């Protein structure tokens, strides 16, 4: 395929620079780091919300829209009748120059037309519940210019699901207040809401609108609102229908002159007793203070500096230099950035996740921890306790919970039998990173019931035993509704369209077993035993290891198909993922997880499993989930067989699972193979095939269409996926090979020949480790020195906080 360029990495600025509006799909970024977030595309599309994309949405977003990415943050210029948008959309007028820069929690988009340059910087400053948009206008011509600038944001009536469905009520509900150029969206503030949105600007205005129809016109499109085209705001006050915020500002610029206008779109909460300034008039004190903080362009510069410092400091935790900029930019910037975003969003809000359901996933959030424990350990700690509080007393878990309430989500319920084990994985990652064993003693409720609490360690114990207590005929773990693969629904037997494969169970569930959960049990069980030992509970640790050893035996006895690990036994006790099957003969998940867990590594099972992966599942675009893909619907297998062959769970490259095989490969010293797998899916390596790949070249996508699909190589569902955290683990902890253990820092690189000289710096527990790796790809055990002195083995004791430790490694 002929390579087409849509942009490039600016590594020093830590930005991806997009040079055309015409990318193969909207390429988005996220604003916000803590509580207030925005999704923003390279043409300014997207929306903004406070904490919960479902329950507290400030601006409206339309799904299934045409074009896909419309609305959002709109700015228009009417220059003597010539209407254009600096972000290209929504006006879509051709620009003389276009450039969008997606940086770490900010985006800046610049357009230029007929001698007017307009650059809009979008950010959510630290500690702020608002988006700041700085519109920088420059007259690049050599004559005076005068034109009209219009802003536009369309408000969502807070609950995004209700907003998109309940029109009989909502079209009569909308309320606003306008106070000297500042627009307040106050729908439902009179009744049970104590929050409003504010859209203000640090300039005198020449007009405003708050009623969509008055501004846009009933039959116009976003590209050409009536008020903009005519250059004249209506000063409308919304009453019902669709409230918006729009300002009109006349801009006069002499030749070469530049002017900044700062808009703030924010969220304000008042005390119930302090809601009103006077009867019917909203209390605006906090809103005014918010606008005051960004009264000048200098204030925005300061906020940007704060944001940059925040990220530089965070990303300084790990840094690498390999000589290959693609590797370095993944590890230094984009992979950790994506890990932070997935941690914040879980799987809720992206251009593929509507933000209407799927709050925080139990297994998702637990795995996201693996990518961020080294960056924000305090927030990881809090998240672990939140997730654990949704665990049920028998050790099972709510599959999801809402971030605003932190309550388990009843509509999805529980019954995904791998879920509990991920809590062990996430907690262990945190403890290994920080050494903080006190978290294990924290009292945490079951099912959010304060009357029923246990220590976090007790929660992990119940996770472990939930698997042991729920085994099937072969002694393997029962799968329940599904395991990691949400679409392998062995107890659903769904025959009616529209039924949820994930929430329906028609069988008693006492037969179908998962080899994947067995492998995960061994992997997580070892970590559980390590934690028990660290607490001094040697008896618990010993018995846990006995159980994992027994499970590993069971896997080799009943979960081995001859050349690879089986995937499961179905409701009838028939094999899934076996050479005896017609379709779906081999699955990636058990090969990755079982070998990672060390099952069959003493014998030749593990190597044979990875040979089979290579022969049967490897493709040009990554490792396929299974082969052959299913061409027919199988009621006994569930949703996995509903996708056309090659898509999603039916045999795509499901990128989350590839790093398990990479890690497994490093365990067996298969260095070249591990790295080759990584390069096939790492976005910076796929940048050159962006036209085919379609989604952002700076972040992983969940899925890349598999070999059986017509669009093999095309990615979907970018951003929010366990892919981010697991690839981080694979590349940094197993290929580069630097990982935390309870007893020290383990340094065991498993590098391909092409990475022969690697400098890897890692901050951990307050000390700094500067690790220089010389790789001759000998395959023999690494030789280490610490501060110039030979060190036996590959485990480095943790240094005191403040120490700088110099390490050399030869392999």
Does position 485 bind ligand NOJ by CB under 6 A?
yes
Q: Which of 43, 114, 121 is nearest to 79 (CA)?
A: 114
Does position 621 bind ligand NOJ by CB under 6 A?
no
When CB distances are held under 5 to 8 angstroms depending on the partner's kind, the choice from ligand BGC, ligand NOJ, none that residue 364 binds is ligand NOJ
Nearer to ligand NOJ, 103 or 480 (CB): 480
Does position 177 bind ligand NOJ by CB under 6 A?
no
Active-site annotation holds for 508 = no
Does position 484 bind ligand NOJ by CB under 6 A?
yes
When CB distances are held under 5 to 8 angstroms depending on the partner's kind, the choice from ligand NOJ, ligand BGC, none that residue 484 binds is ligand NOJ
Nearer to ligand BGC, 396 or 502 (CB): 502
Of residues 319 through 348, those in contact with ligand NOJ by CB under 6 A are 347
Per-residue buried b or exposed e for 91-108, using 16+ beta carbons within 10 Å of the residue's own CB: bbbebeebbbbbbbbbbb
- Binding segment (CB under 6 A) for ligand NOJ, from list 356-364, 509-517, 577-585, 744-752: 356-364
**What's the closest the beta carbon of residue 480 comes to ligand NOJ, in angstroms?**
13
**Of all residues in this chain, which one has the CB nearest to ligand NOJ in the complex?**
486
- Binding segment (CB under 6 A) for ligand NOJ, from list 137-145, 361-369, 429-437, 458-466: 361-369
**What's the closest the beta carbon of residue 501 comes to ligand BGC, in angstroms?**
7
Nearer to ligand NOJ, 86 or 408 (CB): 408
Instruction: Describe the chain by its helix, strand, coil percentages, rounded to 5.
Output: 30, 30, 45
Q: Which of 486, 530, 561, 708 is catalytic?
A: 486
Q: What is the DSSP letter of 272?
A: G
From 42, 605, 648, 712, residue interacting with ligand BGC (rule: CB under 6 A): 648
Could you tell me how many residues of this chain bind ligand BGC (CB under 6 A)? Answer: 6
Query: Which phi and psi (to 5°) does residue 596 adopt?
Result: -55, -35
CA distance 613 to 623: 8
Three-state secondary structure string covering 297-363: HHHHHHHHHHHHHHHHHHHCCEEEECCCHHHHHHHHHHHHHHHHHHHHHCCCECCCCECCCCCEEHH
Of residues 346 through 365, those in contact with ligand BGC by CB under 6 A are none
Non-local (6+) Cβ contacts of 577 within 8 A are 515, 561, 564, 565, 566, 567, 568, 584, 585, 586, 587, 590, 626
Q: Per-residue x/- marks for ligand NOJ, 649-688, CB under 6 A?
A: x---------------------------------------
When CB distances are held under 5 to 8 angstroms depending on the partner's kind, the choice from ligand NOJ, ligand BGC, none that residue 502 binds is ligand BGC
When CB distances are held under 5 to 8 angstroms depending on the partner's kind, the choice from ligand BGC, ligand NOJ, none that residue 260 binds is none
Q: Are 24 and 690 in contact (CB under 8 A)?
A: yes
CA distance 120 to 42: 11
Nearer to ligand NOJ, 478 or 747 (CB): 478
Q: Are 151 and 246 in contact (CB under 8 A)?
A: yes
Does position 244 bind ligand BGC by CB under 6 A?
no
Does position 186 bind ligand BGC by CB under 6 A?
no
Give Cα separations from 21 to 44, 82, 166 (angstroms).
10, 19, 34
Nearer to ligand NOJ, 54 or 487 (CB): 487
Nearer to ligand BGC, 170 or 703 (CB): 703
Does position 69 bind ligand BGC by CB under 6 A?
no
State the Cα angle at 477 between 471 and 478, rounded to 5°.
Answer: 75
Nearer to ligand NOJ, 359 or 361 (CB): 361
- Binding segment (CB under 6 A) for ligand NOJ, from list 26-34, 360-368, 525-533, 748-756: 360-368
Three-state secondary structure string covering 159-215: CHHHHCCCHHHHCCCCEEEEECCEEEECCCCCCCCCEEEEEEECCCCCEEEEEHHHH
Q: Per-residue x/- marks for ligand NOJ, 486-505, CB under 6 A?
A: xx------------------
Q: Per-residue x/- marks for ligand BGC, 607-646, CB under 6 A?
A: --------------------------------x-------
Nearer to ligand BGC, 124 or 490 (CB): 490
State the Cα angle at 137 between 132 and 138, rounded to 5°.
Answer: 150
Nearer to ligand NOJ, 348 or 511 (CB): 348
Q: What is the largest CA-CA distance in the chain?
A: 84
Of residues 476 through 505, those in contact with ligand BGC by CB under 6 A are 486-487, 502
Q: Hey, what long-range contacts does 76-79 have (CB within 8 A, 24 or more apart)?
A: 76/149, 76/150, 76/152, 76/225, 76/228, 77/113, 77/116, 77/118, 77/147, 77/148, 77/149, 77/150, 78/147, 78/148, 78/150, 78/228, 78/229, 78/231, 79/113, 79/114, 79/116, 79/145, 79/147, 79/148
450: burial class by Cβ within 10 Å (0-12, 13-18, 19+)? exposed
- Binding segment (CB under 6 A) for ligand NOJ, from list 151-159, 175-183, 485-493, 516-524: 485-493
Does position 361 bind ligand NOJ by CB under 6 A?
yes
Give Cα separations from 395 to 358, 388, 390 (angstroms).
21, 10, 10
Does position 769 bind ligand NOJ by CB under 6 A?
no
- Which residues are catalytically annotated? 486
Residues of this chain that interact with ligand BGC (CB under 6 A) are: 486-487, 502, 639, 648-649
Q: Can you give the binding site for ligand NOJ, defined by CB under 6 A?
A: 347, 361, 363-364, 484-487, 649
């Amino acid at each position: 395929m002929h390579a087409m360029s849509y942009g490039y990495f600016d590594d020093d600025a830590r930005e991806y620079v997009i040079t055309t509006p015409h990318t193969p799909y909207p390429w988005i970024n996220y604003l916000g780091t803590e509580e207030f977030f925005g999704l923003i595309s390279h043409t300014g599309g997207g929306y903004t919300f406070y904490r919960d994309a479902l329950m507290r949405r400030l601006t409206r977003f339309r799904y299934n829209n045409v074009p896909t990415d419309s609305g959002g943050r709109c700015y228009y210029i009417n220059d003597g009748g010539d209407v254009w948008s600096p972000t290209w959309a929504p006006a879509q007028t051709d620009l003389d120059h276009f450039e969008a820069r997606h940086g770490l929690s900010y985006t800046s988009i610049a357009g230029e037309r007929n001698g007017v340059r307009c650059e809009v910087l979008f950010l959510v400053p630290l500690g702020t519940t608002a988006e700041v948009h700085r519109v920088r206008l420059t007259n690049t011509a050599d004559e005076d210019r005068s034109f009209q600038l219009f802003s536009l944001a369309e408000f969502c009536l807070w609950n995004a699901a209700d907003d998109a469905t309940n029109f009989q009520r909502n079209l009569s509900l909308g309320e606003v207040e306008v106070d000297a150029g500042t627009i307040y969206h106050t729908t439902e503030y009179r009744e049970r809401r104590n929050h409003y949105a504010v859209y203000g600007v640090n300039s005198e205005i020449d007009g405003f609108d708050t009623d969509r129809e008055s501004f846009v016109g009933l039959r116009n499109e976003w590209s050409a609102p009536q008020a903009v085209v005519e250059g004249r705001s209506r000063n409308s006050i919304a009453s019902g229908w669709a409230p918006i915020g729009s300002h009109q500002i006349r801009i006069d610029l002499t030749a070469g002159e530049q002017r900044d206008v700062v808009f703030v779109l924010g969220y304000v909460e008042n005390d119930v007793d302090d809601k009103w300034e006077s009867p019917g008039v909203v209390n605006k004190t906090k809103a005014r203070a918010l606008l005051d903080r960004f009264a000048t362009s200098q204030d925005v510069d300061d906020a940007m500096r704060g944001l940059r410092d925040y990220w530089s400091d965070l990303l300084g935790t790990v840094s690498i230099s390999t000589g290959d900029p693609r590797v370095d930019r993944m590890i230094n910037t984009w992979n950790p950035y994506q890990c932070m975003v997935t941690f914040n969003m879980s799987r809720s809000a992206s251009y593929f996740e509507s933000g209407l359901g799927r709050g925080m996933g139990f297994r998702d959030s637990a795995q996201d921890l693996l990518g961020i424990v080294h960056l924000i350990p305090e927030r990881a700690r809090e998240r672990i306790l939140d997730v654990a509080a949704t665990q049920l007393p028998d050790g099972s878990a709510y599959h999801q919970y809402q971030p605003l309430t932190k309550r388990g989500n009843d509509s999805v319920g529980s019954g995904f039998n791998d879920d509990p084990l991920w809590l062990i994985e996430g907690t262990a990652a945190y403890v290994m990173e920080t050494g903080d064993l006190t978290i294990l003693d924290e009292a945490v409720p079951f099912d959010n019931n304060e009357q029923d609490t246990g220590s976090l360690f007790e929660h992990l114990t119940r996770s472990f035993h939930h698997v042991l207590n729920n085994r099937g005929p072969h002694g393997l773990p029962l799968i329940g509704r599904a395991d990691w693969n949400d679409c392998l629904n062995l107890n659903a037997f769904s025959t009616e369209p529209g039924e949820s494969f994930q929430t329906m169970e028609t069988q008693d569930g006492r037969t179908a077993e998962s080899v994947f959960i067995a492998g995960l049990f061994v992997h997580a069980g070892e970590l559980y035993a390590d934690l028990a030992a660290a607490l001094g509970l040697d008896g618990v640790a010993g018995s846990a290891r006995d159980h994992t050893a027994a499970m590993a035996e069971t896997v080799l006895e009943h979960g081995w198909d001859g050349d690879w690990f089986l995937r499961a036994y179905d409701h009838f006790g028939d094999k899934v993922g076996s050479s005896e099957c017609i379709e779906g003969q081999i699955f990636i998940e058990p090969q990755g997880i079982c070998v990672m867990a060390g099952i069959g590594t003493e014998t030749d099972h593990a190597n044979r499993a990875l040979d089979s992966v290579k022969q049967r599942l490897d493709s040009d675009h990554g490792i396929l989930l299974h082969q052959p893909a299913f061409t027919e619907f199988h009621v006994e297998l569930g949703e996995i067989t509903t996708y056309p062959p090659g898509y999603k769970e039916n045999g795509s490259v499901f990128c989350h699972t590839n790093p398990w095989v990479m890690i497994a490969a490093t365990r067996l010293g298969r260095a070249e193979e591990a790295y080759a797998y990584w390069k096939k899916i790492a976005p910076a390596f796929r940048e050159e095939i962006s036209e085919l790949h379609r989604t952002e070249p700076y972040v992983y996508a969940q899925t890349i269409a598999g070999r059986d699909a017509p669009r093999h190589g095309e990615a979907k569902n970018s951003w929010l996926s366990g892919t981010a955290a697991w690839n981080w683990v694979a590349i940094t902890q197993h290929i580069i090979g630097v990982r935390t253990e309870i007893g020290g820092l383990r340094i065991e690189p498993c590098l391909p020949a092409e990475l022969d000289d690697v400098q890897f710096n890692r901050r951990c527990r307050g000390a700094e480790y500067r690790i220089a790796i010389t790789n001759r790809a000998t395959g023999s055990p690494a030789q280490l020195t610490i501060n110039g002195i030979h060190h036996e083995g590959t485990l480095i004791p943790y240094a005191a906080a403040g120490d700088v430790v110099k390490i050399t490694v030869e392999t």
